Amino acid sequence: MRLTNYTDYSLRVLIFLALKNEFELCTIKEIAETYQISKNHLMKIIHELGKLGYIETIRGRHGGIRLAKLPAEINIGEVISKTEEDFHIVDCFNKDNNYCVITPSCKLKFILNDALKAFLNVLKEYTLEDLIQNKEDLMQFLGS
């Protein structure tokens, strides 16, 4: 199982914001420079995270972004489920683009589906709060 860069960057944004004071506003530029990620790519992610209710954006000259919820209220499995485009591990998971000739009799798709469910269930056991337990160590890497 491999997560997309979109999901990876979404999680990085949430971690970055969770490490800040809850009232401190951050900018997309600050996050982009810290992680060395395209500012344009982050703008799409920030927009989506705002629509999903994980962050709030404040417009204007002194605006910025911050978490809209406490880190303990942001479930990692939920974030991943909402930011991944699909979970098509193999062709047979995608009904529109399935070119595997053995799909009707194949047992592998059921095993992989069970593995995918287990993967997502494990992720649902963690919150953003769990990801920042080593706050001091993380802050060193983020230059704060």
At 140, is the pLDDT very low, low, confident or very high (cuts 50, 70, 90)?
A: confident
Structural domains in the chain, CATH included, are 5-84+127-141 (1.10.10.10)
- 10-69 residue pLDDT tens: 999 999 999 987 778 999 999 999 999 999 999 999 999 999 999 999 988 888 999 999
The alpha carbons of the chain give a radius of gyration, in whole angstroms, of: 18
At 58 the three-state DSSP class reads: strand
- 80-133 residue pLDDT tens: 999 998 877 766 677 777 777 777 788 888 888 899 899 999 999 999 999 999
At 76, is the pLDDT very low, low, confident or very high (cuts 50, 70, 90)?
A: very high
Tokens (6 digits) for 108 = 């592998």
DSSP 120: H
Residue 96 buriedness (CB in 10 A; 0-12 / 13-18 / 19+): exposed
- 83-96 residue pLDDT tens: 998 877 766 677 77
At 142, is the pLDDT very low, low, confident or very high (cuts 50, 70, 90)?
A: confident
Predicted pLDDT at 82: 96
Residue 61 buriedness (CB in 10 A; 0-12 / 13-18 / 19+): exposed
Identify the sign of the CA torsion 53, 58, 63, 69. Answer: negative
